[in-house]
């Protein structure tokens, strides 16, 4: 039995969870962008104002080293991405 997911999730965590190469969750997110709403489906952390939080995520290994701005998926947002990830095999 796997551990329950802890939301919000990063793209790196989603790629890992679904055994997908780096960038897969981000590309799916971009394709779904018109259906997604900030604060409901995702949280946006811009580097210029959320630097400390982004660095903490980096230190925890939750984001890719090259990440600048961070998008965190809520449970609702993750479910939408998950459906698309599972339908594309």
For 24-41, b/e burial (b = at least 16 CB within 10 A) is bbbebbeebeeebeeeeb
Q: Quote the tokens at residue 60.
A: 């925890």
d(Cα 10, Cα 64) in Å, to the nearest integer? 9
* Structural domain boundaries in the chain: 11-87
- The share of the chain scoring above pLDDT 90, in percent, equals 89
Classify 7 as helix, strand or coil: coil
Say if residue 56's pLDDT is above 70: yes
d(Cα 78, Cα 84) in Å, to the nearest integer? 10
Residue with the two structure tokens 């779904």: 32
In the predicted model, what is the mean pLDDT of the chain? 94
Say if residue 2's pLDDT is above 70: no
pTM confidence score: 0.91
Question: pLDDT tens for residues 9-21?
Answer: 999 999 999 999 9
Q: Find out whether 84 and 31 touch, Cβ atoms under 8 Å.
A: yes
């Amino acid at each position: 039995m796997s551990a329950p997911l802890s939301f919000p999730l990063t793209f790196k965590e989603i790629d890992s969870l679904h055994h997908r190469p780096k960038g897969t969750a981000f590309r799916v997110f971009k394709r779904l962008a018109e259906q997604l709403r900030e604060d409901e489906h995702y949280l946006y952390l811009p580097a210029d104002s959320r630097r400390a939080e982004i660095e903490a995520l980096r230190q925890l290994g939750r984001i890719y080293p090259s990440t600048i701005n961070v998008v965190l998926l809520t449970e609702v947002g993750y479910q939408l991405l998950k459906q698309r990830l599972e339908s594309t095999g």
